Structure 1
Amino acid sequence: MTSPRTDLRKRAILAAGQGALTALYYATPDVISSRAGRGVAKTMLALGVGGLAASEYDELKIGKRGRIEDTDLLVQPAAQAPGELIGGPGEQADAPHPASGERPNGEDGADGKPQSFSQFWISLSPASRVALGGLATAAGAGAILAAVAGERWIYRFGERRANGGVTAAHTKTGLVIGGLTALMALIPPPEDK
């Protein structure tokens, strides 16, 4: 088990890396004039930021592995025959599908165990699954459109500043965004209950 001091040091190193890579990402128009070159550089920098974030997530997941007892009911075990009911033979496999919004016994959180996403998803009616899937797709598309609009606005803002005579306009904007990224990365994740 690591001490809080070690955790803070690791978090600070990851935050500094994410902040630096983000600053470089937004500074590329000042350094690389070719649009294709900027695209390649930004892709590599985004992969670096994503890799740092993923490494932090993996550390959190590994630390919690001993406490999590959730099995994914949507994954078919390798030994299970195709078409066989999930869960295999037994009382649970013979039970009818729960009604819409109804949760199977012992999975409602009343026994102190939270319901897993798989259990929640199985308890939904097909119409509810379609509705949630559509909502998730719309939210994802909206997030992508918002990110693209934000990126274009930041680039145009830097271009306006550069045309106004500001030296290293994109770099200065990148330093601000990189600093904000580093500060956000320093915030510890919420504790599990």
Structure 2
Amino acid sequence: MGSSFATYATWWIRQAISRAIADQSRTIRLPVHIVEKLTKLRNVMPRLEQELGRAPNLDEIAEAAGMSSERVHEIMIACRGTLSLETPIGEDGDASLGDFVADREIEDPVDTAARNILRKEVHGILSELSDRERRILELRYGLGLRDPLTLQEIGVEVGLTRERVRQIECEALDKLRLAVRSQNLRELLV
């Protein structure tokens, strides 16, 4: 072969070390071929900057590296550093990056879970009422997909007087209070 073992082994050791660094040095692992292209770009950029006397633009880097401008741009985006959402922000460091990144439009999962549990419990309690009592409470408090109705509107809808609707509502609410006490739901309602 003509080469000493040390020459041959050095190349393989260097490659193994490079691969280990590429695989384990980043929070988000990049494929080896991307790391190799990034290394090529990192070698080309300082050389170009020295030759041109200024920072090279994307097209100049791409030409010197033998890649397309789009590919260079993709590699540079893929190789950006990562930030922890726990990174302190501000002069006091009281806030974290996650405080500003959080989506305020999304409901808190704890609130969603609590509401689902409460909905199931309320449905269970309402099942203890008669159909007429349940219907009147659903209409009065908008428990379905409808808006809450007045006693007069409910009376027209179910064919009862306003006063009778009020009486049935009071009876149903009394039944619910007893059911809530017996099922220890007070904690969920707070």
The bucket for the TM-score relative to the shorter chain is under 0.3
TM-score, normalising length: structure 2 = 0.24
Structure with higher Rg: it is 2
* Structure having greater relative contact order (Cα 8 Å, sep ≥ 6): 1
